[in-house]
């Protein structure tokens, strides 16, 4: 049975995100996670800035956020969703991609954009989770994918 507390949307600020996932600059690709409904869905926010290192080479004079980093931002949002759903704050488990399917890229993401990653849980278990993600900018779909990840509660980040 689902309790009202489990269905009340939560928000994770940057401090809480870093207590759940091990990613740090320059590879932390989510600034906030909002509308978290345990075991169900969440929305990640990434403020895209020109100062990010991938823009030096992708592409000089025409900076575009690489598609793989958009998918990684969706995955990091998903990891925060799992962390909040499974009480993994401060437990520092590692999360590994298992597969990425149906990836599509529809719109460029450039400095100044606010990228919203809408994540929906397709399947959840103790170890393996499957997600559907849609990344949007100003109401337009930038990218979408289905992906699965494994949560390794025994592997720990020590730093």
Q: How far is Cα 69 from Cα 151, in angstroms, rounded to an integer?
A: 20
Report the C-alpha gap between 65 and 46 in whole angstroms: 11
| Token pair recorded at residue 65 | 């956020």
- How many CB atoms within 10 Å of residue 92? 17
Cα–Cα distance measured from residue 134 to residue 43, given in angstroms and rounded to the nearest whole number: 10
Active-site residue (options: 23, 54, 58, 118):
58
Cα separation of 128 and 99, whole Å? 11
State the Cα–Cα distance between residues 46 and 30, nearest whole angstrom.
5
Is residue 58 annotated as a catalytic residue, yes or no? Answer: yes
Positions marked active-site = 58
């Amino acid at each position: 049975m689902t309790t009202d507390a489990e269905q009340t949307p939560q928000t994770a600020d940057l401090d809480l995100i870093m207590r759940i996932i091990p990613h740090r600059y320059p590879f932390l690709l989510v600034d906030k996670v909002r509308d978290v409904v345990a075991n169900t869905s969440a929305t990640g926010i990434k403020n895209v800035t020109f100062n990010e290192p991938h823009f030096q080479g992708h592409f000089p004079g025409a900076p575009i956020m690489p598609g793989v980093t958009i998918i990684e931002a969706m995955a990091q949002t998903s990891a925060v969703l799992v962390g909040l759903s499974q009480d993994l704050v401060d437990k520092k488990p590692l999360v590994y991609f298992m597969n990425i399917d149906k990836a599509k890229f529809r719109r460029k993401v450039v400095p100044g954009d606010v990228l919203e990653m809408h994540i929906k849980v397709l399947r959840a278990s103790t170890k393996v989770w499957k997600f559907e993600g849609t990344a949007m900018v100003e109401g337009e779909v930038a990218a979408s994918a289905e992906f699965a990840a494994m949560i390794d509660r025994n592997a720990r980040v020590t730093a």
